Amino acid sequence: MVLEKSQDRENQKLKSQDKENQKLKSQDKETEEEEEKCSECGSTEIHTDYARGETICAVCGLVLSSGNIDHGPEWRAFTSEERDKRSRVGSPSTFTVHDKGLSTMIDWHDKDCYGKKLTPKRRAQIYRLRKWQIRTRVHSSIDRNLAFAMSELDRLSSQLGIPRGVKETAAVLYRRAIERKLIRGRSIEAMIAAAVYAACRERKVPRTLDEIARHSRVNRKELGRCYRLILRELEIIIPMASPVDFIPRFGTELILSGRTQRKAAEIVTLARDKGITAGKDPTGLAAAAIYISAILEGERRTQREIAEVAHVTEVTVRNRYKELVKELNLRIEV
């Protein structure tokens, strides 16, 4: 009986607390509605002027409040470079650094905040702090793995000219592979190269397997094996590589106009609608379409030049060129 009475009391307390919370919520909603409405005309179109620090009704022009607090910086900047120089905060967190860019670095200049040199006693103390900070920054095997992998990612992405977004995607894929314990027993360089290739395919930034294998320290066979492992274990759905994605890059390297590149994309689209592109190498099709469009637009490029840019043979360019001309009924004046 005593237990039942105590439970009833607790239930009554909980019910009363719920009623009080509901009342408070309803009062907060009413106050918010009152604040959002204009006291003069009842309009809800309220405009905030951050330069003057005023809240104004957009209908009748009544100043509802003035002297608002500006939560932005106290300095002004008119260019992005000036904004970066005057900003006093650190860089945003990124997956391309092993600790996501959130660690602290102790400088080697041995100077205080006023630019004065430290005393010998203080310099020895800072030296010991710096040494232990470096040791604790990379303490686990996963951190050491990530530190080496992210430096390899920086080198590979700089040589391939990969955008920052693709680099972030590759770092995320590699971190997921570490969580699944796919790195153990395999080369870090091969796995990071496979992650870069998967990120390029996922973000539709054209980079061939041969290009990545040439800039990395692994062969094409090992790179393809690690790439298939990442796709299978991480369950990533990669879209098919389209020849249209390669045309802007090849056209820029060949110094072709936008009109010629657009014409090449139209040729590839027509070939895809007729089913000619099935089972063909996208780089070879893009090279042949560029060769045809360059002739049609009066910006001729030799087959050798296009083959060197697309990293295919001249025979491939000729074969794809003959197929496109025949199937699309194109008139080419040689």
In a domain, 110, yes or no: yes
Residue 99's pLDDT band (cuts 50, 70, 90):
confident
In a domain, 156, yes or no: yes
Q: How far apart are CA 256 and CA 260, in angstroms?
A: 6
Residue 16's pLDDT band (cuts 50, 70, 90):
low
Q: Is 256 within 8 Å of 290 (Cβ atoms)?
A: yes
Q: So what's the pLDDT on residue 29?
A: 46
Q: How far apart are CA 105 and CA 108, in angstroms?
A: 9
155 and 132 co-located in one domain = no
Q: Is 264 within 8 Å of 304 (Cβ atoms)?
A: no
Of 234, 259, 277, the last residue of a domain is 234
* Domain at 225, CATH number: 1.10.472.10
Average confidence (pLDDT) over 85-105:
76
311 and 250 co-located in one domain = yes
Average confidence (pLDDT) over 186-197:
93
Number of domains in the chain: 4
Q: How far apart are CA 311 and CA 332, in angstroms?
A: 24
Which long-range contacts (C-beta less than 8 Å, at least 24 apart) are formed by 155-162?
156/192, 156/193, 156/196, 156/212, 156/215, 156/216, 157/196, 159/215, 160/196, 160/207, 160/211, 160/212, 160/215, 162/196, 162/199, 162/200, 162/205, 162/207
In a domain, 13, yes or no: no
Of 137, 166, 188, the last residue of a domain is 137
Distances (CA, A) of 315 to 91, 170, 307: 49, 34, 9
What percentage of the chain carries pLDDT values higher than 90?
33
129 and 150 co-located in one domain = no
Domain that holds residue 154: 142-234
252 and 317 co-located in one domain = yes
In a domain, 5, yes or no: no
In a domain, 15, yes or no: no
Q: What's the pLDDT tens digit per position in 45-81? A: 888 887 788 888 888 888 888 888 777 777 888 888 8
* Average pLDDT for the chain: 84
Query: Which residue has 């710096």 as its token pair?
Result: 130
Highest mean pLDDT among 68-77, 165-174, 204-213, 268-277: 165-174
129 and 147 co-located in one domain = no
148 and 227 co-located in one domain = yes
In a domain, 6, yes or no: no
